[in-house]
Each structure stands twice: as C-alpha cells, then as structure tokens.
Amino acid sequence: MLELRGITLTYDAADHPDGSRPTTVLDGIDLTVSDGELVVLAGPTGVGKSTLLGVVAGLVPSYTGGTLTGDVLLDGVSIIERPARERAHAIGYVGQNPAAWFVTDTVEEELAFGMEQLGLPATTMRRRVEETLDLLGIAELRYRDLRTLSGGQQQRVAIGAVLTVHPRLLVLDEPTSALDPTAAEDVLATLTRLVHDLGVSVLVAEHRLERVVPFADRLCLLGGDPARPGTVRVGDPAEVLRDAPIAPPIVELGRLAGWEPLPLTVRDARRQAPELTARLGGPPHRERPASAEPIVEVRRLVLAHGRTPVLREVDLALSPGTVTALMGRNGAGKSTLLWALQGRHEAGSGTVRVVGADPSSLRPEERRSTTGLVPQSPADLLYLETVAAECAAADLSAGADPGACRGLLERLAPGIDPDHHPRDLSEGQRLALAVAIVLTARPPVLLLDEPTRGLDYPAKRALAGLLRELAREPGARRAVLVATHDVEFVAQVADDLVVLAEGEVVSAGPVARGVSESPAFAPQVTKVLGAGWLGVDDVAERLAAGSAGVTP
Amino acid sequence: MRLARDLHPVAWWTWAVGLAVAASCTTNPLLLLVLLGVITLVVLTCRSDQPWARSFRLYVWLGVVVIAVRILFRILLGGDVPGQVLFTLPAIPLPDWAAGISLLGPFTREELLAAAYEGLRLATLLIAVGAANALANPKRLMKSLPPALYEIGTAMTVAISVVPQLADSARRVRAAQQLRGGPQGRFRRLRGVRRLLVPILEDSFDRSLALAAGMDARGYGRTGELTAAQRRGTGALIIAGLLGVCVGVYAFLDSTAPRILALPMLAVGTLVALGGFALAGRRVQRTRYRPDRWRLPEIVVAASGIAAGAGMWGVWRWDPQVAHPGVLVVPEVTLPALAAALVAVLPVWAAPLPVTAQRREEALA
Amino acid sequence: MSGHTGRGGHTDRRRPVAVPLRLRSGAVLAITSVIGLLMLAWPLLLDVSPDAERVDPPFLFLLLLPVILGVVLAEMSEGGMDARVLAVLGVLSAVNAVLRLASAGTAGLELVFFLLILGGRVFGAGFGFVLGCTSLFASALMTAGVGPWLPFQMLVAAWVGMGAGLLPRRVRGRGEIALLAAYGVVSAYLYGLLMNLQGWPFMAGVQVPGQDSTEISYVPGAALLDNLHHFVVYTLLTSTGGWDTGRAITNALAIVLLGPAVLVTLRRAARRARIDPTLAPR
C-alpha cells in the first residue's frame, strides 16, 4: 500500500537546524507497509525516526528544511509532491505530544476537526464521531475539556481525531513516551485492536520495544549500522533484534543466554528460563553503601492542594550515598513530594527535614544550596541565549568559581559547543545542562523528576551510571531521588524503591525487594528469572564469573 | 416544548446591536431606563452559567462610571447653560492657550440633567453590547464567522485555547526559576519578566509549530484554488468597494459634497466590498460539525432587536420631542415609543432555555 | 511543492515574510487606512449646515468599521494562510492579550505594544497589521470586552504593528533596539491621541444648544483649528499626562530590557516557521 523508495534527506550547511555542517539523516531508505500490517520503527535517540515518519506524513521537509530525494508511493501513485494536508484523507499522523496538537477544546470538536477540513457532510460527521467514541472507549468524555484529560486519554483522543477521516495508514510517533505503564498498555491495546478489527495499517515509532514488539508484524530498525547511520534493516522482529544496538532487556537476556528463537515476550522467555536459572544459581546480592544517618527525613507528611489531599502521611528517609527511585501512577503525588523536599510546598502536617532543616522555612538561596531539583521539563530553567551565558549565570547566582558549571557540564555531556542556543541542544544534552546548573550550588540532595523521557537504552544507561557516580562521590555525602515511570531504568540506577499510590507510600525498601513485591513494577529480567535478578548486567556478571570458574 | 440549547450567537448580537441603535436614537431618560430594564431582564433569564455570562455586571459598572465621568467633567469644566444654580464652586481661569477655559464655577440643574441624559444614552449603548457578550458563546461566534474569515477565526480559536496553556507554562516556569538564583541590580522586576517571558515564549512557539504541523497533517488548508480570473475579480471588487466607502465617508462628513456621494455611495461601496468578501470565501470547501442553524427562536430574537432599533429610529425621525426632550421640560413617553422599547423583551419567552451544568448533567444521566 | 508553501520566501530565505504584502493587499491597506483616519478624525472634518438643530456622533461609523476590517482581513488571508503563520499568529495574539490583561491592572503599566512591535518587526508589515487586529480582538473576546470602541482599537493597533514592519530593515544590534524603543514611545502617544480623538465627542459631549457640552467639547462646524485646540486641551487634561506617558515609558523600557532576548526568540521561531522545502529533481 505505502512504499518508500530510496528516501534520502540531507541538510545542507545553511538550513541545518542546530549546526552548520551538511548531514545526511536518511540514506536511501526502502520500506513497504502492506494493508493491515503493523510495522514498528525502532532506533537510537536522535537517529531520525521522527524525520522518517514526517516524510511519510508530508511534514518533512516542509517543516524542517533539507533536501529530499527518492519517492513515496501510495497505492502505486507518487505522493511525494503533495503537502501533508493533501495526504490527510489517507494517512493519519499522530505526533509525539498529543496535547500540543489539539486545535479545539472539547473531545467531540477535536474528533470532528479533520472531517470538517475534508468537507464531509454533517450527518456523516455525526455518525463517525459516535463510532469513534465507542471504538476508543471514550464516549463518556465527549464534552470534556481536552486539557482535563489524563495522558492516556489524550493520546486516545489524538488517535481518534485522525481515525474519523478513515485513513488507511496510521502513523504514530512514540505514542507512549509520556505515559505511565498502565496508560501505555491501554494505548497499545487500542492500537492492536485497530489493526485486528479495522484492518488499518500502522507504522509506529516506539522506544519501549518490550511493549510493542510482541504485536509487530515487522520491525524496521533505523540507525542499526554505525557505519551507515541513515539506513534501515527491515524484517521479522526476532531476526532484526538478534544484533540490534537497541534491544529490550528480554532480548538482551536471550542473546546472553543464547536462546533460540530469540524470545520477544516474557511468556516465551519463561519457557526457556529454567535452564538458565540452573546455570546461574541463587540471585545476586547487591552491595549497598554502609548505612549512615539519613540526610532527608520525612515523617507523616500530609499535603493538600486546596482541599484535595495529594500526600497522606508519607514517611521517607534518604541516606547519603544512595539513589532512591520514586514510582507510581501519573498523579500519585511524585512531583509534589519532590517539590515538598525542595521547600516550595509547605507541609500541611508532619515534618520534613532536609540536612537538619525544614526546607520551606529556608530562604531561596539556602534552599538552592541544600536541594537541587531538576524539573520535569528541564528547558524551563533555561532563559539565556547561549550555553556559556547560562553557565556563567549559574556560577554567579551560586557564588561558585567562574567555570564551575562549565566543568560539571563537561563531565556530564562532553563536547557541547558553548555558543549553541540552549534550545537547540538535544534532549539529553539539555538535561545535562539543567543538571549541571542545579549542581553548581553543590547541593547534598539531588532530586530529578522524570529524567528519562526521550532517552534510548544507551542514554538511560549513561544517565544511570552518572547518577550512581554522583551519589557515591567520595566526600560528598549526597543522596539522589529520582521520580520515574521507567521500570528498567529503576533496576539499573536505584538502591531503594519507594512506590506511591494515591498519595500514600505503598511500598518502600531495597529495589530487589520492592519490585518482587509488586509485579506491575517488576523489570522484565525479574519477571523471567524471579526475585533478586534485576537487570541483564547482573546476569552477565554472574555468567562471566561462572565461566571464570568462581561459582558461589 | 423548549429544550435547553445555545441560541445562535449571531442572533444575540443582532438583538444587542438593534438595542444599541435604539439607545443611540434617544436621550429620553424614561425610554432609556425602559431599554435598560429590558436588557437586564433578558440577560438575567437567558444567560448560561459559562464564564463569559458573568461579564454583564462589569458592563453595568462601566455604564455607571460613564455617567459619573460625564457629570464630573461638567462640574470640573463648567458650562454656560443658564438655569437654576445648584451650587457654586470657585472658578479657576486657565491661561490663554487653553482656549479661555475656566475650571469649576457655578453648576446648574440643567447642566446636571444634560450630562446625565447623555451619559445614560452612552451607558445604555455599552450595556446592550455587554448583554451580547454575556449571552453569546464567543467560541461559537468564531465558528459562525463567514468563510472568508476562516483563517482569522482559526487563529482566534488557537489564541483562546492557548491562554490556559500559557498560564500552565507560566506557573511551571516560575517554579522552575526558583531553582536558580534571581537577577540582581536595577530593573530587577523587568529582568525577572524576561526570565519568565523567554521560556514561555519559546515553549509556546514550540507548541504552535507542533500545532501547525498537526493541523496540516489533519488536512487544514485544503483549499480549492481559485482561478486567476476569480482572484482578479475578488481583488477588483474589494478595492472598488473600499474606494467607494472612502469617498462616501468623506462626502458624509463634508456637507458641500453632493449628497449622492454620501449615504448612497457608502451603501454601494459596502455592498461591493461585501461581494468581494463573499467571493473570497468561495474557495473554502469546509463543512461544519453541528452547525448552528437559524430556527424560529433565532429569527424572533434577532427580529425583536431590529424592531426596537427601527422603531426608535422612527421615533427620532418623526417625533423628535419624545426622542430628545431637552432639559427644560419633563420628558414624555408616547405609546409607539414605549412599544419600540418593549418589543425587545420578546427573547425572555422566545429564546431556548440556557444550557447550564445542571441541565447538562441531567441530560447525561 | 506547490507554489503555496513557497510563496513569499523565494528571494531571501533569511527574511521571513509571514503575510506577504503584494501590490494588491498594499493598496487595500492604504485605502483602509484613509477610511480609518477619516472615521477617527471625523470631529475635525465634519462640517454641518448652520441650521442643524442637533449633531449626533456618527453612530453609523461604529457599524461600518467592523465590516471594513472584516473585508481587509479577508483580503490579507486571501489565497489561504499557511498553518505555521496561523499558529504563530494565534500564539502571539494570546500572549499579547495576556500581557494586556496582566499589565492593565498595574498602574501606568501597559505592555500592549511591546510584543506587537517586535512581532511586526520580525515577521513583517502585513503580519504586523493582522497581529494588531487579532491581539486586541482576542483580548476583547477573552474578557468579553467587545464594544463599539473595539474596531477603532483594532485598527490603530494594526497600524502600530504595520509601522513596526515598515521600519528600516538594515539597522541591527543596539541601533535596532534604540529604533524600536523610540518607535514604541511615538506609537504609544499616537495610539492614545487617536483613541482620544475617536472618543472625545462621546465623552465630553458635542457643543450645540440644548445638548450636554463643556468648554472643551467638540463644536460642530467650527474651524478645524478651533476644534483641534479644544481637542489638544482635552487630551492633555485627560490622558497625556497619565496613561499615555505611562504607556510610552513602559513600552520603551520593556523593549530596551526584554527586546534583545525576545527578538532572538522570535527570529528563531521565524526561522523555523519558514524554511523553504526543497525537493531534489528526480
């Protein structure tokens, strides 16, 4: 149905968005999507997944610049010359952040917008809106203001808004990247239902491969070959993942254990697991830093926004040298807890002690030197025109030596051009800049709110390493608290896990115990090998040790 | 049976403009008070519980302020209308350059009445417009714009829906900025605004481009191209019409110009320009989901407003003593004048019940 | 791609022209400006026959101007407006409306023109005109403040935005900020003056026997200079000392202090909003 032939996109020096060197982003890409097929597009961050989807939808190069060659065929007819609006009836495109895409303000009007543009008769629109509301299970939301919806609901409305024009191909860019695990499941379940019931073809870019690969008919890997980054490999998911640089933990485990065929689901892997469990022996013991006096202590903290309670009797203790993960659904109170530790929210009742003081009673500059908080969108911190100016301002306001912030940034993300505009940095670099600015005041407590959004497996691993290093830095007495949805990241980074639900702590303790207590938060390796095994790294370590002849 | 629904916003605006015209035709305080009563009654019975419905009170206050300002001006600047002196303030003559004005001085009852009548007329006009603001749903009004203004209407819709996002982003950025040190030195407050404004602007541009991409990908702007001849025709009509209006306005102001160039020219020019306007809208091939239709209640509401305007104009034209009684006699009211003012109360019975949260919930239940 | 997206950007891709001003739309803007000026300055121009019993302000203009503005805006968006331009227009209007609301409460602070001027400067005269209209209209819609004064405000604000787009292009750096700040001061006073001119007969009355009037009222049929004199006194007494000066100072200050950063932001947005697509020949 849809066919890409030799798609090549180059930015020449003048219109490159963040630099001045000519680059080839996509390099001779051939891809076909047949009727009723679900194709997953995977690849490392920043490799051009969104760009490729944009080419299909017609938004690239008209929104990004660059030179496009090759051809896009829809049912054998070339559509590469047609702008996005002339493709809308056949190709439905849903971008990364659905909230930024809404044109109207209620669910019903949003569903009708695309049809209005196509000039469909009013009666047809009426019928299709009803059908779509039912199909996506959002009928009760019809009059709701779009901004009051949860992330998962918004994503479903965004999908519905393109479905109403009955496109033949649905193109989705990371539909679950901002969702908590349950909402992500909902959206992906909706997608598979569309493929199975309606026969819509779907092309979806997704970085949480572990969720979507089981449903994929084919996998298209972009940037898998470091020598030619703009090319793709297309094939059966298990085949392509055999040596892909980005792979879900379960696939890495399969590779490590030499399983054949490569398992894509927990179910497949469990069938092959007993052999490996026997080889591995008992679960590993994670070494923990010597327990010390906690530097953050929260006792029976109650906090409310207006009359709605957000935190109910929360207890929390953070010891220096540890990384603690904070998990829970969207709206469970994670961000509020972080901001309470920072001192912006005053405790309704109960006590908050950070390095021996109540943070809400401190002056702003004292707060900054006790806790460093990196907010959910780190770009909010940045307001100057160059990276160098941001760093200089950070030094000045923290009273640090000139160059302190630059030094930190160089450690976190080497090689950033100081004359760049902060907004032109990549997601990971911007996060690094925000962390560096916050760390310039050398706070003993570091809080991060959802730092893994938009990062791929290697980038997350690097961030995990960095956070552990910061926590363990000799002579620093520092504690790190990370709020996140990402189970696999938690397995990599955290010593302790605290789970919040409806503002209450439902579980707290070492990570290995925490994840075995609640299966929803268990990483894949734990699901396959049982409690105590957290990540592929543990298994690799044990196997290496085993082959060296040191059996426990 | 009357079901709760939103009346077509254009019907409300027609009604209100009719009343505003009626108000501008008279300075008779009794007639103006009747008009005010009619407006208030209709607003109180027909408004919904949406946020814009609460704006009516502001307009009432604005009206009160206008009357007060007119009277204060008169006291401050004085006048020379002879009559019964109410009180005398010491006069302050201003130097020659100020047109020989003297401030304060004696204040007469006639001056008070004249100021109050004129103020009341302006206040009634404002309150009529305020009624439209309170009654008509602004979002639906944007949707009822003629096709040629579709783009502008969409930009307005975007603007209205961006505002809550701006508030969100402002809150978020403010909180985030507390995590960094503040600026020092002079103009600290304005520099603080910069720390806030730049991230918010950047944020909203990012959003707006994403939004544009989203609209584009959903078919926004699939316009049928006009042929070159059609485009030339549109342009010619618009330019000719505007030129006509230009001449008409000038002739309207200059009484030495031939009268045929005044009102007739204005009318012709406006019609020609509107023709071009309609032609420009022809390229648009969109449809509306749940379009607002003109049904009987809409027609009755709009007609009652037009009738009030036309009736009061008739009173002004043929019975100037009633329309403008002056300050020396007690104002009179005739039956036709009263009827012209009262006809606008029809919406109280003709308009559908307003949509309120309670009724909506009952409907869903 | 079709001529649609490439429109206006062929000659110089670094200079965004968001709403292109062609000869035709330029002519429409010019005629509208003349009509607008006539309607604003009617008290100075109106000449009445001496035997007229009473003179009413021409309420007809209050009805006519919205129609004219509608026609002009339709002409400006004739041929379809690019989605990106439209989105930027929507966002800037919203920010302007919020700035207006937020600053109106603070005494003497009125930041209406600051972003309008910068927007007109970066995106061009045609865009500036449309932005002036939509900003004031959006703020009126949000506060339910649609009234007879609105079309006049929209028109004058549109002139301010358009003028900012017509300032000399070459000036950059500090010179540019100084130029814009000076323009901000001038436009703040002009805006106040023109709005006063329109509201003067309504607020101070018309001086004819039997009607409410004061000594600084509009005198129909009097010589232009006399009326001008009355008007100048009225405007000095009522607004120049307070509102207009406050507005001029805050606008200039805002442009000097925030201008450089906001210009960078706007230019970045402009760069992203108008990049010519290239399809290599096949």
User: Domains in chain C and their CATH numbers?
Assistant: 14-273 (1.10.1760.20)
* Residue A207 near residue A27, CB atoms below 8 Å: no
**pLDDT above 60 for C54:** no
Choice among A26-40, A244-258, A312-326 with the minimum mean pLDDT: A244-258
Percent share of chain A, pLDDT over 90: 10
Instruction: Report, as an integer, the average pLDDT of A280-287.
Output: 78
Q: Between chains, do A65 and C275 touch, taking CB under 8 Å as contact?
A: yes
Chain A CB within 8 Å of residue C182 CB:
no
pLDDT band (50, 70, 90) for residue B181: low
Q: Identify any residues that bridge with A188 across adjacent strands, giving them in sequence order.
A: none
Per-residue model confidence as pLDDT tens digits over C4-22: 333 333 333 434 446 666 7
**pLDDT above 90 for B185:** no
Chain C CB within 8 Å of residue A6 CB:
no
pLDDT band (50, 70, 90) for residue B334: confident
**pLDDT above 90 for A481:** yes
Within 10 A of A465 (CB to CB), how many other CB atoms are there? 12
Instruction: Report, as an integer, the average pLDDT of B100-111.
Output: 70
> Cα separation of C191 and C198, whole Å?
11
> Cα separation of C194 and B294, whole Å?
39
H, E, C per residue of A443-492? CCEEEEECCCCCCCHHHHHHHHHHHHHHHHCCCCCCEEEEECCCHHHHHH
Distance (Å) of CA B328 to CA B70, B315, C89: 19, 20, 54
* 3 state SS of C205: strand
Per-residue model confidence as pLDDT tens digits over B226-283: 677 777 888 888 888 888 888 888 777 776 767 777 778 888 888 888 888 787 777 6
* Residue A462 near residue A435, CB atoms below 8 Å: no
Structure confidence at residue B263 (pLDDT)? 77
Chain B CB within 8 Å of residue A84 CB:
yes
* 3 state SS of A230: coil
Structure confidence at residue C11 (pLDDT)? 33
> Cα separation of A286 and C163, whole Å?
69
Structure confidence at residue C29 (pLDDT)? 86
Structure confidence at residue B96 (pLDDT)? 56
Chain A CB within 8 Å of residue C102 CB:
no
Task: Tell me which range, A407-411, B198-202, B305-309, B318-322, is most confidently predicted by mean pLDDT.
Answer: B305-309
Q: Between chains, do A69 and C84 touch, taking CB under 8 Å as contact?
A: no
Structure confidence at residue C55 (pLDDT)? 57
Residues 56-85 of C with CB under 8 A from A: 83-84
A350 HSE (CA, 13 A, CB side): 22
> Cα separation of A130 and A140, whole Å?
11
**pLDDT above 70 for B361:** no
Residues 53-72 of B with CB under 8 A from C: 55, 58, 69-70
pLDDT band (50, 70, 90) for residue A550: very low
Structure confidence at residue C16 (pLDDT)? 47
Instruction: Report, as an integer, the average pLDDT of B71-78.
Output: 73
H, E, C per residue of C158-203? HHHHHHHHHCCCCCCCHHHHHHHHHHHHHHHHHHHHHHHHHHHHHH
Of C275 and B178, more confident? B178
Structure confidence at residue C12 (pLDDT)? 36
A457 CA to centre of own chain? 10
Instruction: Report, as an integer, the average pLDDT of A230-238.
Output: 86
Element spanning A402, H or E: none
Going by C-alpha positions, the residue among A7, A121, A107, A134 that lies closest to residue A58 is A7
Structure confidence at residue A195 (pLDDT)? 85
- Sheet arrangement for strand A218-222: A91-94, A169-173, A201-205, A38-42, A218-222, A232-235
Choice among A130-139, A155-164, B323-332, C162-171 with the minimum mean pLDDT: B323-332
> Cα separation of C213 and C198, whole Å?
16
Going by C-alpha positions, the residue among A89, A91, A97, A49 that lies closest to residue A72 is A91
Instruction: Report, as an integer, the average pLDDT of A9-15.
Output: 66
- Sheet arrangement for strand A296-305: A308-318, A296-305, A349-354
pTM, full prediction: 0.76
> Cα separation of A435 and A412, whole Å?
8
Going by C-alpha positions, the residue among B22, B245, B302 that lies closest to residue C69 is B245
Of B74, B149, B249, the CB nearest to C214: B74
pLDDT band (50, 70, 90) for residue A187: confident
Choice among A26-40, B312-326, C13-27, C123-137 with the minimum mean pLDDT: C13-27
**pLDDT above 90 for A171:** yes
Q: Between chains, do A421 and C261 touch, taking CB under 8 Å as contact?
A: no
pLDDT band (50, 70, 90) for residue B39: very high
> Cα separation of A81 and A87, whole Å?
10
Q: Indicate which of C67, C71, C155 best probes the interface with B, i.e. most B CBs within 10 Å of its own CB.
A: C71
* Dihedral sign of CA atoms B153, B155, B158, B163 in order: negative
Query: Which chains have at least 3 CB atom pairs separated by less than 8 Å from chain A?
Result: B, C
Pairing between β-strand A349-354 and β-strand A371-374 as defined by DSSP bridges: unpaired
- CB neighbour burial string for C64-73, b if at least 16 within 10 angstroms, e if fewer: bbebbbbbbb
**pLDDT above 70 for B95:** no
Instruction: Report, as an integer, the average pLDDT of C91-119.
Output: 73
pLDDT band (50, 70, 90) for residue A170: very high
**pLDDT above 70 for B183:** no
- Model ipTM over 0.95: no
> Cα separation of B362 and B356, whole Å?
10
Q: Between chains, do B253 and C68 touch, taking CB under 8 Å as contact?
A: no
Instruction: Report, as an integer, the average pLDDT of A216-220.
Output: 90
Structure confidence at residue A56 (pLDDT)? 92
**pLDDT above 80 for A541:** yes
Residue B165: list chain A partners with CB under 8 A.
Answer: 147
Within 10 A of A24 (CB to CB), how many other CB atoms are there? 16
Instruction: Report, as an integer, the average pLDDT of A467-487.
Output: 85
Residues C99, C101, C107, C109: what is their CA dihedral angle, to the nearest 10 degrees? Answer: 20
Of C4, C261, C276, the CB nearest to A385: C261
Q: Between chains, do A383 and C1 touch, taking CB under 8 Å as contact?
A: no
pLDDT band (50, 70, 90) for residue A403: confident
Structure confidence at residue A127 (pLDDT)? 92
Chain C CB within 8 Å of residue A64 CB:
yes
Structure confidence at residue A40 (pLDDT)? 92
pLDDT band (50, 70, 90) for residue C137: confident
Query: Which chains have at least 3 CB atom pairs separated by less than 8 Å from chain B?
Result: A, C
> Cα separation of A535 and A63, whole Å?
40
* Helix and strand counts by DSSP (H, E) for chain A: 19, 19
Per-residue model confidence as pLDDT tens digits over C199-222: 666 666 555 544 455 556 666 666
Instruction: Report, as an integer, the average pLDDT of A411-431.
Output: 77
* Residue B133 near residue C146, CB atoms below 8 Å: yes
Residue of C nearest to A81 (CA): C1
Distance (Å) of CA A218 to CA A201, A236, C153: 12, 5, 59
Structural domains of chain A, with CATH: 2-247 (3.40.50.300), 296-521 (3.40.50.300)
Residue A89: list chain B partners with CB under 8 A.
Answer: 219
Domain ranges of chain B: 9-144+292-364, 150-222, 226-289
Q: Is A217 exposed, middle or buried (0-12, 13-18, 19+ CB in 10 A)?
A: middle
- How high is the mean pLDDT of chain A? 83
